[in-house]
Structure 1
């Protein structure tokens, strides 16, 4: 079997990476995950956030990470009982349009 080769790092300025760029949000699928899958999701999200932080990029901690650190589910019910994602930053004022189905 051939050895894996790393791709060369591109020269010149690179775009800054943010947690938003690499986070995987599962708001619609969360209820369908078994406890082991939820645990794996938590571990992957926390490791991903740790990797982004290790790059030394400025930014505040996303709400979803704080929730996961407290052992909370990352999604809660709104007042009407519908699922509502806390998203990465819950104070973001521009709502995402909902799909009609």
Structure 2
């Protein structure tokens, strides 16, 4: 588990990661061929994560081979249903 304030210590591996808050609520799930680069090159959800829980968020990951990333990410999102992964309903 890596604090959102310590992105330099993330691993340079392919895998699935989840962002959790201080109460272990899953906020976001993603995948990357290189988790370190994904976060250290500017993650598109970082602003929303900080807006939601400040700097009290953590990244937890599991190493997954690249060929299995899409399937593993989809399964994790379906299981946890994290709020920052959910698509907004269209406004009619």
Query: TM-score category by the smaller chain?
Result: under 0.3
Flag the structure with more relative contact order, 1 or 2, with Cα contacts below 8 A and sequence separation at least 6: 2
Q: Based on CA coordinates, which of the two structures has the bigger radius of gyration?
A: 1
More strand, by proportion: 2
Structure 1-normalised TM-score? 0.23
